[in-house]
């Protein structure tokens, strides 16, 4: 009997919840576990291996001590989680945020496993984070923090093992420090250890806008399927950072109207449309989106009731919940953020006929161009931006099309379809590789 022919009886001697999670407060990883439960009935015999998905392969928790500018020493919690490496090296971003927890990094790493498999990149899933509010620290302090953290997780990362990238509050400069620190520690320049680097250090053209571009490409595909015209479509965006502002600009440049923007500083609205290029300039010069000419300021919660065609959550997880899913007026939600919608909210949106393009597809543009960056670094041969965008658009369009067909065939949401396709790919690899030793 080969490993793919096992029966589907769940394994014995396995604890349901690992002891390092609190079963009463599972946090974001609880959402991922619920998503795995939902997909299991569609996995056939591969369900035999489903426990593999429920527990990360490797978790590294590190202490990150640094000298602050005032001469004192501060300690920060750092994590790197490799959720799954059945299909290739782990791949996923690094987040700097004061609310980072182990459960959150575990969930984000698991979503990377699903995302990379859903768009068929030859990667497993990983994620890292440091529990810090970077706005309160100087550039020199953040550099020391990044270098120490990179050294601590240097045990498990590497161009062929685990390749970090930017996420919330991290950027090309931080990737440059990570690349330099890893290179110093290993005695050779290793550009392929991180992606999302500056162009002059082996970064890829098109990477900075890639996630937003993928949000646009998959959103536009969904609109086409649903008969919602792009020209004049009203778009609301939560989060105006790397993902949100690129998505807003690209929708705007294709004739859509950005009617509402929310970020950490507040919420602005204009029925006539906000020019996102000007909003970025305003944010840069004033430090806030508030006060942008010809816009009204809305209450934070009113964002969810904005009359719009497309809603793009592009900030943090757990934003669309039972509390606001019933009030959302969009026809399509395109998840730029990771994990913005809870499973209960997903059900409400499904019943109300709102189409959700799930994170594991919608925001996969970033990791797709990260993959291109990694390939270019290995071959030291760089492609033009047009080549990159054309390849990105093709991968995202094809992935959308095949998930749309799977959803129609099984009469399930696009999220469940993405999980069916991705989890099947991951568990097929697991079954073929078998267990070592
Ligand atoms: N950067 C990437 O390539 C990438 C790729 C895939 C997914 N993502 C996901 O997209 C999301 C955003 O990432 P990013 O890289 O754009 O981060 P970023 O740090 O560049 O921007 C985050 C944005 O969210 C806003 N924000 C933070 N807290 C908020 C709140 N409580 N309410 C409203 N807005 C708030 C911030 O003001 C900022 O505009 C995250 O979920 C991330 O995991 C990012």
Indicate which residues carry an active-site annotation: 127
The answer, yes or no, to whether residue 4 has pLDDT greater than 60, is: no
**Domain coordinates in residue numbering, the chain:** 57-196, 205-437
Predicted local distance difference test score (pLDDT) of residue 1: 39
Which atom from ligand 1 is nearest to the alpha carbon of 359? 7
**pLDDT per residue as tens digits for the range 108-146:** 999 999 999 999 999 999 999 999 999 999 999 999 999
pTM: 0.94
Domain at 205-437: CATH code: 3.40.50.720
Domain at 57-196: CATH code: 3.40.50.10860
Q: Which residues line ligand 1 (CB under 6 A)?
A: 166-169, 211, 238-244, 262-264, 314-316, 336-338, 363, 366
CB neighbour burial string for 165-184, b if at least 16 within 10 angstroms, e if fewer: bbbbbbbbebbbbbbbbbee
Domains 57-196 and 205-437 share a fold: yes
Under 8 Å between Cβ of 274 and 258: yes
**pLDDT per residue as tens digits for the range 263-298:** 999 999 999 999 999 999 999 999 999 999 999 999
SS3 per-residue string spanning the chain: CCHHHCCCCCCCCCCCCCCCCECCECCHHHHHHHHHHHHHHHCHHHHHHCHHHHCCCEEEEEEEEEECCCCCEEEEEEEEEEEECCCCCEECCEEEECCCCHHHHHHHHHHHHHHHHHCCCCCCEEEEEEECCHHHCCHHHHHHHHHHHHHHHCCCCECCCEECCECCCCCHHHHHHHHHHHHHHHCCCCHHHCCCCCHHHCCCCCHHHHHHHHHHHHHHHHHHHHCCCCCCCEEEEECCCHHHHHHHHHHHHCCCEEEEEEECCEEEECCCCCCHHHHHHHHHHHCCCCCCCCCEEECHHHHHHCCCCEEEECCCCCCECCCCHHHCCCCEEECCCCCCECHHHHHHHHHCCCEEECHHHHCCHHHHHHHHHHHHHHHCCCCCHHHHHHHHHHHHHHHHHHHHHHHHHHCCCHHHHHHHHHHHHHHHHHHHHCCCC
> Which residues contact residue 77 at a Cβ distance below 8 angstroms, ignoring those fewer than 6 apart?
61, 62, 63, 64, 100, 130, 131
Query: Which residue ranges make up the annotated binding site for substrate?
Result: 91, 115, 370
**pLDDT per residue as tens digits for the range 340-387:** 999 999 999 999 999 999 999 999 999 999 999 999 999 999 999 999
pLDDT band at 316; cut points 50, 70, 90: very high
The answer, yes or no, to whether residue 423 has pLDDT greater than 80, is: yes
Residues above pLDDT 70, as percent of the chain: 97
Query: Which residue ranges make up the annotated binding site for NAD(+)?
Result: 211, 242
Distance 82 CA to ligand 1 centre (A): 21
Question: What mean pLDDT value characterizes the chain?
Answer: 96
**pLDDT per residue as tens digits for the range 5-56:** 555 555 566 778 899 999 999 999 999 999 999 999 999 999 999 999 999 9
Q: Which of 290, 314, 364 to mutate to test the pocket of ligand 1 (most atoms within 8 A of CB)?
A: 314
Distance 371 CA to ligand 1 centre (A): 20
Distance 314 CA to ligand 1 centre (A): 5
The answer, yes or no, to whether residue 167 has pLDDT greater than 80, is: yes
């Amino acid at each position: 009997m080969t490993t793919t022919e096992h029966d589907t009886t769940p394994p014995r001697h396995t604890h349901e919840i690992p002891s390092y999670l609190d079963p009463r407060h599972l946090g974001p990883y609880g959402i991922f576990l619920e998503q795995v439960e939902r997909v299991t009935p569609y996995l056939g015999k591969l369900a035999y291996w489903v426990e593999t998905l429920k527990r990360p392969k490797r978790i590294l928790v590190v202490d990150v001590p640094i000298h602050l500018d005032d001469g004192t020493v501060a300690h920060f919690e750092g994590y790197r989680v490799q959720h799954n490496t059945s299909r290739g090296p782990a791949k996923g971003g690094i987040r700097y945020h004061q609310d980072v927890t182990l459960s959150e990094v575990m969930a984000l790493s698991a979503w990377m496993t699903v995302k990379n498999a859903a768009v068929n990149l030859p990667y497993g899933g990983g994620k890292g984070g440091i529990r810090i509010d970077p706005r309160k620290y100087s550039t020199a302090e953040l550099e020391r923090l990044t270098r120490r953290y990179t050294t601590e997780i240097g045990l498990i990362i590497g161009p062929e093992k685990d390749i970090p990238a930017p996420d919330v509050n991290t950027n090309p400069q931080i990737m440059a420090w990570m690349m330099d620190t890893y290179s110093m520690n290993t005695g050779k320049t290793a550009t392929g250890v991180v992606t999302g680097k500056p162009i002059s250090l082996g970064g890829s053209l098109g990477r900075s806008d890639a996630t937003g571009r993928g949000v646009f490409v998959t959103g536009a595909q969904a609109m086409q399927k649903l008969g919602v015209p792009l020209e004049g479509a009203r778009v609301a965006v939560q989060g105006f950072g790397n993902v949100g502002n690129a998505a807003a600009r690209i929708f705007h440049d294709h004739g859509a109207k950005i009617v509402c923007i929310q970020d950490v500083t507040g919420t602005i609205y204009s029925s006539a449309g906000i020019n996102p290029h000007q909003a970025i300039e305003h944010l840069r010069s004033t430090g806030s989106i508030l006060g942008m000419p010809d816009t009204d300021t809305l209450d934070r919660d009113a964002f969810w009731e904005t009359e719009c065609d497309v809603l793009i959550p592009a900030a943090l997880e757990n934003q669309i919940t039972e509390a606001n899913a019933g009030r959302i007026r969009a026809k399509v939600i395109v998840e730029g953020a990771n994990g913005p919608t809870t499973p209960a909210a997903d059900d409400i949106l499904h019943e109300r006929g709102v189409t959700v393009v799930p994170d594991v597809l919608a925001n996969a543009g970033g990791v797709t161009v990260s993959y291109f960056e990694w390939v270019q670094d290995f071959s030291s041969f760089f492609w033009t931006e047009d080549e990159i965008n054309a390849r990105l658009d093709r991968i995202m369009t094809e992935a959308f099309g095949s998930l749309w067909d799977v959803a129609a065939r099984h009469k399930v949401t696009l999220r469940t379809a993405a999980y069916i396709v991705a989890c099947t790919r991951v568990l097929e690899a697991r079954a073929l590789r078998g267990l070592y030793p």
